[in-house]
C-alpha cells in the first residue's frame, strides 16, 4: 500500500470490469477515487464496498462521458470533496460487434462518441484540474484492436485507434 497515498483519481466506466479493478487497485494503494459510470446501481455498490474496507476512499457519480457539461460538474465535485485531482482514468467504453459491412452509422458514431469524444472531453477538462493540483497522470484505456484492426470490432477498433493517437498527442 501507499504508491498513490494522498492522490485523488477519477475513473470513468468504473462500475464493472477493468474500471472496477482500477478503482479497487487505486484504493488499495492509498488513493481516494471517484467512480463514474452510466450503471448507477453497480457504481453505488462498488463505492459502498470500497468505503466499508477503506472509509472515505470512494464515492460514485453518474456520468455519461459524452456529456461535456457533466464533465465540468463531475470534476468540480471531485475537487470540492477531495481538494484536487491527480489521476484521470478514461476507461468508459462499449463494444458492438460489427464488420465494415454490418456496422451501422449510428453504431459507429456511438463508439466514437463514448470512446473518442469521451477521452477528448476527459483530457480537456481534467488537465486544468490536475495542473492546479500540482500534476499527475492521465491513463487512457486503448486496446490491441487499435493496432491489429479486428474486422468484427470495426467501430471499436477505430475508436481505440483514436484514443491511442490522442494519448500520444496529449503526452507531448
pLDDT of amino acid 143: 81
Q: Would you state the pLDDT for residue 134?
A: 96
Considering its fold, how many domains does the chain have in total?
Answer: 1
Catalytic residue among 82, 150, 154, 156: 156
* Three-state secondary structure string covering 53-83: HCCCCEEEEECCCCCHHHHHHHHHHHHHHHC
Position 1 in a domain:
no
Average pLDDT of the segment spanning 52-61: 97
User: Is 150 an active-site residue?
Assistant: no
Residue 67 lies in a domain: yes
Count the Cβ atoms, other than its own, within 10 Å of residue 151: 11
pLDDT value of position 102: 96
Q: Is the pLDDT of residue 47 over 90?
A: yes
Query: Which structural domain, as residue segments, surrounds residue 153?
Result: 8-171
20 located within any domain:
yes
Residue 13 lies in a domain: yes
145 lies in some domain: yes
Q: What is the CATH number of the domain that holds 64?
A: 3.40.50.720
Amino acid at each position: 500500500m501507499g504508491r498513490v497515498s494522498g492522490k485523488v483519481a477519477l475513473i470513468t466506466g468504473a462500475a464493472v470490469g477493468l474500471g472496477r479493478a482500477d478503482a479497487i487497485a487505486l484504493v488499495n494503494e492509498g488513493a481516494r477515487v471517484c467512480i463514474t459510470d452510466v450503471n448507477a446501481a453497480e457504481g453505488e455498490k462498488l463505492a459502498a464496498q470500497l468505503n466499508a474496507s477503506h472509509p472515505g476512499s470512494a464515492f460514485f457519480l453518474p456520468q455519461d462521458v459524452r456529456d461535456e457539461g457533466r464533465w465540468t460538474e463531475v470534476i468540480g465535485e471531485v475537487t470540492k470533496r477531495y481538494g484536487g485531482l491527480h489521476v484521470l482514468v478514461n476507461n468508459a467504453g462499449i463494444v458492438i460487434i460489427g464488420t465494415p459491412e454490418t456496422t451501422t452509422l449510428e453504431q459507429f458514431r456511438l463508439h466514437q462518441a463514448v470512446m473518442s469524444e469521451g477521452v477528448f472531453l476527459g483530457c480537456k477538462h481534467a488537465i486544468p484540474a490536475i495542473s492546479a493540483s500540482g500534476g499527475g497522470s492521465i491513463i487512457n484505456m486503448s486496446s490491441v484492436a487499435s493496432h491489429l484492426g479486428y474486422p468484427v470490432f470495426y467501430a471499436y477498433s477505430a475508436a481505440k485507434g483514436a484514443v491511442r493517437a490522442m494519448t500520444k498527442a496529449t503526452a507531448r
